[in-house]
């Protein structure tokens, strides 16, 4: 009870603007107050000015969000090589582009499917853009199967068209994947064989580990420059971030 009262008193002190260099007399008065009086002061003040609690919570949330963003930005910087230059990650667009966009996604994710037209358009409209595709199957067996198939299509130099075809497919069963592969000119037999290669599973496991280090908790998630943007972002926002990331 006493500790709680002291914490409340400190909170009120912060709200009222107490500083570390306050007078010795004020310090002594605060220390000598009995717990009951502290509780009364705190209670009366909060009843009289209840909005300060809301303001304090807002400030706490702002600080927590800023700290989380700074931590996430530091993680992006620390893992830049794995994000941008992982040989196991398929790449679309211009290989020597000045700006790289990284996307973490799942083929069953409705929000990932919602932004697929934006991703197509960004590739078509930005000759100086490179997109790194990070398979992050988090929605079950169909997602894992589709990701393995997509990575296997890289062996036939057909990843990008197959990726976009899978993103719009309603059938992620093996039969559906084979039909989609054939539809974009891939050999479905080779694809199914290549899906079982250990390096395919290893690439997905590496993406899981990377997502965890970056604090990614769902799909889609985008990285441009040092910024990590979770969720289904509007194309205009991605374009804005791409322009900001361009070398001056």
Percentage above 90 pLDDT, the chain: 65
Q: Supply the mean pLDDT for the chain.
A: 86
Q: What is the pLDDT of residue 11?
A: 53
The alpha carbon of residue 15 and the mean position of all alpha carbons in its chain are separated, in whole angstroms, by: 34
Which whole-number Å values give the CA distances from 171 to 65, 99, 107, 179, 194, in the listed order?
A: 39, 34, 11, 9, 20
User: Crossing angle for the helix pair 51-78 and 198-214, nearest 10 degrees?
Assistant: 140
Look at residue 24 in the predicted model and tell me its pLDDT: 45
pLDDT at 195: 98
Cα separation, 32 vs 50, in Å, equals 26
Between CA 240 and CA 248 the distance in angstroms is 14
Q: Is the pLDDT of residue 15 over 90?
A: no
pTM equals: 0.74
6 pLDDT more than 80: no
8 Å CB contact between 135 and 150: yes
**CATH, domain range 80-245:** 3.40.30.10
Looking at per-residue confidence, does 135 or 54 come out higher? 135
Q: What is the average pLDDT across 71-87?
A: 89
Helix or strand holding residue 155 (H, E): none
Strands of the sheet containing 221-224, edge to edge, are: 91-93, 129-135, 99-105, 221-224, 227-230
- Every domain of the chain and the residues it spans: 2-49, 80-245
Cβ–Cβ under 8 Å, residues 147 and 121? no
Q: Is the pLDDT of residue 4 over 60?
A: no
For residues 243 and 248, give the distance between their C-alpha atoms in angstroms, rounded to a whole number. 10
Our CA angle for 14, 20, 24, nearest 5°, is 110
């Amino acid at each position: 009870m006493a500790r709680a009262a002291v914490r409340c008193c400190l909170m009120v002190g912060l709200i009222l603007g107490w500083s570390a260099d306050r007078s010795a007399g004020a310090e002594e008065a605060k220390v000598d107050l009995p717990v009951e009086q502290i509780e009364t002061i705190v209670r009366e003040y909060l009843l009289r000015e209840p909005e300060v609690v809301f303001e304090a919570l807002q400030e706490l949330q702002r600080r927590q969000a800023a700290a989380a963003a700074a931590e996430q930005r530091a993680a992006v910087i620390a893992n830049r090589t794995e994000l941008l230059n992982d040989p196991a990650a398929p790449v679309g667009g211009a290989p020597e582009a000045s700006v790289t966009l990284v996307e973490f996604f799942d083929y069953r994710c409705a929000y990932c499917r919602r932004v697929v037209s934006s991703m197509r358009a960004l590739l078509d409209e930005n000759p100086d853009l490179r997109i790194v595709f990070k398979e992050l199957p988090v929605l079950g067996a169909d997602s894992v199967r589709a990701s393995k198939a997509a990575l296997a299509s890289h062996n036939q130099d057909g990843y990008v068209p197959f990726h976009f075809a899978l993103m719009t497919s309603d059938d992620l069963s093996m039969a559906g994947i084979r039909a989609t592969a054939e539809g974009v000119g891939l050999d479905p037999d080779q694809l199914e064989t290549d899906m079982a290669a250990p390096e395919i599973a290893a690439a997905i496991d590496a993406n899981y580990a990377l997502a965890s280090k970056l604090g990614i908790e769902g799909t889609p998630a985008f990285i441009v420059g040092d910024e990590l943007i979770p969720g289904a972002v509007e194309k205009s926002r991605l374009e804005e971030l791409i322009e900001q990331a361009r070398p001056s």
